[in-house]
Structure 1
Amino acid sequence: MKTGSWLIIIVLLAILAAAGWFGYAGLTTDPGVPISIHGYIAMALGIFFSLAIGIGLMALVFYSSRAGYDEPPHQIGGRSDEE
């Protein structure tokens, strides 16, 4: 691997570590904050719609791939460039 590749990997791992630390600090800073029923409903709806969109898009990717929509275009008729 080149030096630039190692640098990119180190930077990305540092960003991942910072995101993990930030998430941990945010979850453990004040554990006594109550969540209302509206908060739970909003969280459940957000999880549901995120999963629905993700599953739907992945299903479209698999369908598109298997149905041949991802193939390069072909010339069906007309003149040929080989003449």
Structure 2
Amino acid sequence: MGAGSWIIVVVLISLLAMAAVAAFVGWTSAKDTDVPASGYVAMAIGVIFSLAVGVGLMALVFYSDRKGYDEPPMLIPPADTIEVSGVSDGPVKPQQTQELS
């Protein structure tokens, strides 16, 4: 690994350590605090809602991939147009012929 990769690893590990310290300090500073039942209900509803959104979005990702909705867009011209080098000239009009007398 190069120097840049090591810097990224060190930064990420230090961020993880800081998050762990913040969680520990927050957890231990609230020793004598009681959470009411409504707090637990609100937390449970939030967790269930977050999981439902995550599962729903992942289901849409898999559905979209399997149905081909993730393919790159392609221009499909209407049947009544002529395409010349990628530029459509519009509707095809019948050519008028003149009779020579």
Task: Quickly name the TM-score band, shorter chain normalised.
Answer: 0.7 to 0.9
What residue ranges of structure 1 are gaps of 5+ in the alignment?
Answer: none
TM-score by length of 2: 0.70
Match of 2:62, SS state, is helix
- Residue by residue over 1:18-75, the C-alpha shift from the partner in whole angstroms, topping out at 9 and shown as x without a partner, is 1012112211233231110111111111111111111111111111111111111223
TM-score by length of 1: 0.83
Higher RCO, Cα 8 Å, sep 6+: 2
What residue ranges of structure 2 are gaps of 5+ in the alignment?
Answer: 87-101
**Corresponding residue for 2:44?**
44
1:68 partner amino acid = G
From the two aligned structures, give the one with the greater strand fraction.
2
The percentage of aligned residue pairs carrying the same residue is 49
The alignment yields a C-alpha RMSD, in angstroms, of: 1.8
**Corresponding residue for 1:79?**
83
From the two aligned structures, give the one with the greater helix fraction.
1
Give the structure with higher Rg (CA).
2
Runs of 4+ off more than 3 Å: none
